[in-house]
Structure 1
Amino acid sequence: MTDNSPLNSTAEKAIRIREIQYQDSTGQNLVGLFAYPEGESNLAAVLVYPEWWGRNDYIESRARELAEYGFAALAIDMYGDKKIAEDASQANEYMMATFEPENVIVDRATAALNTLREQPEVDASRIAAIGFCYGGKVALDLARSGAELKAVATFHANLSAQTPAQEGTFKAEVVVAHGEEDSMVSLDDVEAFKQEMQNAKVKHRVDLYPNAKHGFTNPAADENARKNDVDLGYDALAEAESMDALYALLDRVLK
């Protein structure tokens, strides 16, 4: 694993960023963006798993926000070599390639977790994972695998499980933010997820946002919907409320 030189960042709270190259178990090169408050150490840290577009500007901005707030954060590359997609067909192709063989998602999610733990600024005992859309599934599947996470938060996420959570294995507390008008992840899917969590005795909460569609936290959702003819939509109120819930969760379980 190699770290590139830190880059300067200007923000309300001074932060530093650096790209980190690491590999999954097959040797696939992955490139994360690590952000942290300048001059601080022993930091609680957050994995930031992306939408199906990949490690793009949106996901990097979420990592920077976390660093400005006081956490270390790693924006994750799930496709390798920083590949990103700008149209839905390409994004779907990249995403589906991580569903087969079955262990690719957890393998790459775990590689990111191990990489974050190794950073000298990070307290490896205080780590959470968050994910948006596809990245929500990645974060949940990492927790389902038994990873040592304090919390998982998802936003307009794919909640399905190839291997459902098991009592005692799933260690993280979970908060799910879901739009009631999400046509890609139904309310029946949400109920099935809640039942999974109940069966595994996982502490969890599902926050439903009226009128919010899939992708509601991403300001680019409306433009992505227009370009790709898919049912996405940005909702500023749902974004703000779900982010408030995220930071309340992180403050409680990581600090």
Structure 2
Amino acid sequence: MAHTITRDIAYRHADTRMLGCLLAGARAGDAVGARPGILLVHDAFGLTADLVALAERYAALGYTVFAADVWGERFQPTTGEQIGRLIGSMAGDRDEWMSRIRAAHLAAAAQPEVDAARIAVVGYCVGGSSALEYVRTGGDVAGAVSIHGGLDLVAGDWSAATSTASVLLCTGAADPMAAPRHWQPIKAGLTDAGIDWEFDLYSGAQHAFTNPKADALGMPGAAYDARSAARAWARTVSFLGELFAEAPKSSSTGA
């Protein structure tokens, strides 16, 4: 019977202790060898139970997933003030922000279930911003997926970007945090850096469109969109399979 290996992994950046979570599918009694890895970066709400459930879906495809803890100590903000302060602190100190992503990347690469040479970073909302920023600043990953990322947070200088990475952006056309004025410079930067990229723009979809709880957030410009969520999931699965030259299992449900 198949099961999922799950374990918490503590790691650090400077004085901040992070508590990530590794997940990998296995059959009973079988050892899990090094597999392509997914560095999964959470949204503004931190490494929640919902994010772990999402990591389980990726692990079920045959990947080893390392869910990062960017805020540290598994902190899960519950108010707009807390979220604004956290995101503002990262956008205001990009070296700190990317150092936290790199710390998670190194922790993931050190796990025996992960093929350190085949890691993709996948992020949602601010996690999607993190994935793009990591590639933009030279993060050594095979690829990156930004799903309804806050594209307004991505800086403009792609001169140090990881040109060997492939990038997928799945974005809502009605997302105020990813308007044309935000994504057009990103497309230009990716092209100028020689990066292989794909940009999927979903009509009518707003921010956080994969999150069934988005409608309850009371945040203008954020709403769940089941059809766009299913499309983004299907394309992400396909993209990762292409990236790692594998054929992962299919799934028809939205993220």
Q: Same fold (TM over 0.5)?
A: yes
Contact 2:162 2:195 in 1 (8 A): no
The runs of 5 or more residues in structure 1 that have no matched partner are 1-11
Aligned Cα root-mean-square deviation (Å): 1.7
Alignment of 1:82-161 (within 5 A): 82-159=74-151, 160-161=153-154
Distance (Å, rounded) in 2 between the aligned partners of 1:89 and 1:70 = 38
Distance (Å, rounded) in 2 between the aligned partners of 1:180 and 1:96 = 24
- Change in Cα spacing, 1:235 to 1:97, as seen in structure 2 (3 Å) is same
Alignment of 1:194-209 (within 5 A): 194-209=187-202
Contact 1:20 1:34 in 2 (8 A): yes
Which residue number in structure 2 is paired with residue 193 of structure 1? 186
SS in 2 for 1:115: helix
Q: Deviations over 1:137-172 (max 9, x none)?
A: 111111122222111011111234336222763331
SS in 2 for 1:51: coil
**Which of 25, 33, 49 is matched with 2:21 structurally?**
33
Contact 1:136 1:155 in 2 (8 A): yes
**Which of 229, 252, 255 is matched with 2:242 structurally?**
252
Task: Identify the range of structure 1 (33-42 vs 175-184) with the bigger mean alpha-carbon deviation.
Answer: 33-42
Q: What is the CA distance between 1:27 and its match in structure 2?
A: 2.9
Equivalent position amino acid for 1:37 in 2: G
Distance (Å, rounded) in 2 between the aligned partners of 1:161 and 1:98 = 11
Q: Deviations over 1:72-130 (max 9, x none)?
A: 11111111101011222211112222234331111000000000000011111110001
- Change in Cα spacing, 1:31 to 1:167, as seen in structure 2 (3 Å) is closer
Which residue number in structure 2 is paired with residue 211 of structure 1? 204
- Change in Cα spacing, 1:121 to 1:64, as seen in structure 2 (3 Å) is same
Q: What is the CA distance between 1:57 and its match in structure 2?
A: 2.1
Distance (Å, rounded) in 1 between the aligned partners of 2:182 and 2:89 = 23
Contact 2:135 2:161 in 1 (8 A): no
Which residue number in structure 2 is paired with residue 8 of structure 1? none
Contact 1:178 1:209 in 2 (8 A): yes
**Which of 142, 160, 164 is matched with 2:157 structurally?**
164
Distance (Å, rounded) in 2 between the aligned partners of 1:201 and 1:219 = 36
Distance (Å, rounded) in 1 between the aligned partners of 2:162 and 2:233 = 27
Q: Does 1:237 align with 2:219?
A: no
- Change in Cα spacing, 1:13 to 1:140, as seen in structure 2 (3 Å) is farther
- Change in Cα spacing, 1:124 to 1:36, as seen in structure 2 (3 Å) is same
TM-score (norm: length of structure 1): 0.89
Distance (Å, rounded) in 1 between the aligned partners of 2:124 and 2:195 = 20
Aligned length: 240
Q: Deviations over 1:23-48 (max 9, x none)?
A: 01x13101101111123212111011
**Identity between Structure 1 and Structure 2 (%):** 25
Distance (Å, rounded) in 2 between the aligned partners of 1:81 and 1:207 = 34
The runs of 5 or more residues in structure 2 that have no matched partner are 247-255
